[in-house]
């Protein structure tokens, strides 16, 4: 996602660098991605911030997902980063565009094995499965049935 202006004001950039983890930090922050669908209705969901630099913010999603369809219909988006327990909130508005295939592959390779498996399991069929209880006191869970891969699932995208 690129920001509305190609260059951030110096004070905003300094806050970003101070508040967000470095791009090589494996603990990626969760951000809220807000979009508008083809009918003009707003939507929001949580995604992981892959990286950021002076040119914008990158996040990954399934190219066949609802959020990818929303972005294709209306590329204007907003990202919100909230630090619970702090009085910090960052909102960035800009235009989202798909990354080059090489960036998608590089982003996928940098994911943890757990996130790679989640990417492969995140199908429309899997999302529709009923949740099962892992134990009588545990949270609902869905058991993985598909092996992970070393390459992105068809339709993966970086924005």
Point out the least confidently predicted range of 42-46, 56-60, 116-120: 116-120
Say what the pTM is: 0.68
pLDDT band at 96 (very low <50, low <70, confident <90, very high): very high
3-state secondary structure the chain: CEECCCCCCHHHHHHHHHHCCCCCCCCCCEEEEEEECCCCCEEEEEEEEEEEECCEEEEEEECCCHHHHHHHHCCEEEEEEEECCCCEEEEEEEECCCCCHHHHHHHHHCCCHHHHHHHHHCCHHHHCCCCEECCCCCCEECCCCCCCCCCCCCCEEEC
**For 44-53, what is each residue's pLDDT tens digit?**
999 989 889 8
pLDDT at residue 38 tops 50 = yes
- For residues 86 and 33, the model is more confident at 33
- For residues 155 and 105, the model is more confident at 105
- For residues 21 and 114, the model is more confident at 21
Average pLDDT over residues 134-148: 41
Tokens of 7: 């260059």
Q: Which residue in 95, 46, 93, 98 sits closest to 68, CA to CA?
A: 98
pLDDT band at 64 (very low <50, low <70, confident <90, very high): confident
Q: How far apart are CA 50 and CA 152, in angstroms?
A: 15
What pLDDT shows up at residue 127?
55
pLDDT at residue 159 tops 70 = no
pLDDT mean across residues, the chain: 75
Tokens of 148: 């992970």
Tokens of 121: 């399991």
Q: How many CB atoms are closer than 10 A to CB 12?
A: 13
pLDDT at residue 58 tops 50 = yes
- Whose tokens are 């499965």? That residue is 129
- For residues 154 and 74, the model is more confident at 74
Q: How far apart are CA 64 and CA 40, in angstroms?
A: 19
Domains recognised in the chain with CATH numbers: 2-158 (2.30.110.10)
């Amino acid at each position: 996602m690129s920001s509305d202006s190609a260059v951030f004001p110096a004070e905003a950039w300094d806050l970003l660098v101070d508040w967000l983890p470095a791009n090589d930090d494996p603990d990626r922050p969760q951000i809220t991605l807000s979009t508008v669908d083809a009918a003009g209705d707003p939507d929001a969901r949580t995604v992981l911030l892959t990286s950021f630099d002076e040119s914008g913010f990158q996040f990954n999603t399934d190219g066949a997902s609802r959020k990818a369809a929303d972005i294709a219909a209306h590329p204007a988006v907003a990202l919100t980063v909230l630090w619970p327990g702090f009085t910090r909130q960052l909102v960035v508005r800009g235009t989202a565009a798909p990354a080059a295939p090489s960036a998608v592959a590089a982003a996928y390779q940098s994911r943890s094995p757990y996130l790679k498996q989640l990417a492969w399991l995140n199908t429309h069929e899997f999302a529709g499965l009923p949740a099962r209880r892992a134990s009588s006191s545990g949270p609902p869970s869905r058991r993985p049935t598909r092996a992970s891969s070393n390459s992105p699932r068809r339709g993966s995208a970086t924005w």
